[in-house]
Amino acid sequence: MSDKEPLFSSKNLKLLTNPLNVENPITVQVLGICSALAITVKLEPAVVMAISVMVVLAVSNVVISALRKLIPPRIRIIVQLTVIATMVILVDQILKAFAYDVSKQLSVFVGLIITNCIIMGRLEAFAMSNSPWTAFLDGIGNSVGYGVILIIVGFFRELLGSGEIFGYPIFEKIGIYNIGYENNGFMILPPMALIIIGIIIWVQRSRNKELIEES
Amino acid sequence: MKSFSNTYIFVFSTIMVVVVAALLSTAAMVLQPLQEKNIEIQKKRNILSSIRIENNAKNAEELYDKFISDSYVINADTEEKDESLNAFEIEMGLQMKKSPEHRSLPVFISSLDDGTKKYIVPVHGKGLWGPIYGFVSLNDDFITLYGAVFNHDDETPGLGAEINTDWFGAQFTDKKIFNNSMEFISIDLVKGGADPESLNEVDAISGGTLTSNGLEKMLYDCLGSYQTYFKNQMKNN
């Protein structure tokens, strides 16, 4: 690392943009599916969840990356888990103090960020062997890639399942119920989240042939 | 890869644990007053919502002082007021764990702008994943419900969590918890649509059967422990 690399070199920018598309944690690596099913019934919790994951992942990535030369490899997983758990508890406490309503909505799922495979995966695969700045970018990139999918899924599930967007009854306002439309209760159930993710994967792969595996 | 001695690993983990513990306990201590304030405001908001007063986090305290004119605690054994207890500080969850005759039952009294009095009682029970709780307000005939608001900690969003939506709470208005022969009947949550003519049926939540069952039991248990108090009040009227 003798030659100074600019902060936003094209290599570093790739860390931000790749997870949005060809390395998307949900649609390509198929990680973090459980939370994508659980909190996407409504948009608001999906957005808060995405932000919480972003904070947890970016900070844990930086901490682990800064300590990477000090962490004994034999206990590295325990160290990673401790850092993630600490961050998650902090986020939970801060939400309870400053965004009480939202924290009530997310309830148990904030705590469950600990079990989100994306976070452990990035710490182990990236932060353990890269500098803090690149680890930070990688954390932001991956959590945005995760968040984008949550928000897309949340958008369709809330719109079609409850006829609302961010709690605003949009279908009622434009009078779509008057022509015989009814909310699709199936959208509220977890299987529909999987189906929507499946459709996103389908659309993504049909647009980007590189992602199609040889069979 | 560098190898680390066992001593190093022990020292590393000890330092890590101490740092993490210090960080978390500092955060918990610094944020605790804010969190407790939020919980207090939330409780006041729930009480206000149960008498169908629109409120938000900012005006809750002001509205609470304006509308809640009195509160006291009833001793379930003697049915008399227990002056030593503050109704707002009673945790209904703890009371419901006691045997019925040892419960201290809080009652909040509200005087609305139209001059009517509403009596608000807390309810607390078990949902599917965790506790569910809320407040139910009665008209001064002590038979008819005026409003209800429910809340939960861990119910599934979109399913059981629907108990704290407006449509669900609104169903309880004008339902009766005593039948014509003055027997306590509580409120029934009915699957597949409540009979609109019925005195005490409301719609359960589709996909939230276990939460609905828990809520029905909660109302039966909690309102049930007040029934002697309600009947005494009716006699006094």
Q: Which residue of B has its CA nearest to A85?
A: B20
State yes or no: pLDDT of B74 exceeds 60. Answer: yes
User: What does the pLDDT read at residue A215?
Assistant: 64
State yes or no: pLDDT of A111 exceeds 90. Answer: no
Q: How confident is the model at residue A172 (pLDDT cuts 50, 70, 90)?
A: confident
User: What does the pLDDT read at residue B216?
Assistant: 92
- Give the span between the Cα atoms of B210 and B132, in whole angstroms: 12
Average pLDDT, chain A: 85
Mutate to test the interface with B, among A68, A93, A129, A186 (most CBs of B within 10 A): A93
Q: Name the DSSP class of A195.
A: H
B155 contact residues in A (CB cutoff 8 A): 107
Mutate to test the interface with B, among A71, A91, A104, A168 (most CBs of B within 10 A): A104
Predicted complex: ipTM over 0.85: no
A164 contact residues in B (CB cutoff 8 A): none
Q: List residues bridging with B122 in a β-sheet.
A: B135
Neighbouring C-beta atoms of residue A131, cutoff 10 Å:
14
Residue pair B142/B232 in contact (Cβ under 8 Å)? The answer is: no
Q: Which residue of A has its CA nearest to B154?
A: A107
Q: How far B148 CA lies from chain A's nearest CA (Å)?
A: 19
State yes or no: pLDDT of A2 exceeds 50. Answer: no
State yes or no: pLDDT of A1 exceeds 70. Answer: no
Residue pLDDT, tens place only, B221-235: 999 999 888 888 888
What is chain A's alpha carbon radius of gyration, rounded to the nearest angstrom?
Answer: 19
β-pairing verdict for B201-203 and B188-190? parallel
Residue pLDDT, tens place only, A30-71: 888 887 887 888 888 888 888 989 999 999 999 999 999 899
CA angle B160, A114, A52 (to 5 degrees): 75
β-pairing verdict for B104-111 and B68-75? antiparallel
Average pLDDT, chain B: 88
B1 contact residues in A (CB cutoff 8 A): 73
Q: How far A93 CA lies from chain B's nearest CA (Å)?
A: 7
Q: How far B55 CA lies from chain A's nearest CA (Å)?
A: 13
- Higher pLDDT, residue A86 or A214: A86
CA angle B79, B81, B82 (to 5 degrees): 115
Minimum-distance CB partner of A185 among B4, B57, B206: B206
Q: How far B212 CA lies from chain A's nearest CA (Å)?
A: 17
Residue pLDDT, tens place only, A69-87: 899 988 889 999 999 999 9
State yes or no: pLDDT of A8 exceeds 80. Answer: no
Q: How confident is the model at residue A4 (pLDDT cuts 50, 70, 90)?
A: low
Q: Tell me phi and psi for residue B4, to 5 degrees.
A: -115, 140
Give the list of residues 6+ apart from residue A214 with CB closer than 8 angstroms, or none: none
State yes or no: pLDDT of B182 exceeds 90. Answer: no
Record the pTM: 0.75
Q: How confident is the model at residue B213 (pLDDT cuts 50, 70, 90)?
A: very high
Q: Which residues of B touch A (CB under 8 A)?
A: 1-2, 4, 8-9, 12-13, 16-17, 20, 23-24, 27-28, 31, 34-35, 38-39, 41-42, 57, 129-130, 151-155, 157-159, 161, 206-207
* A199 HSE (CA, 13 A, CB side): 8
CA distances from A66 to A123, B24, B70, B224 (A): 11, 20, 58, 59
Residue range A116-139: average pLDDT?
Answer: 90
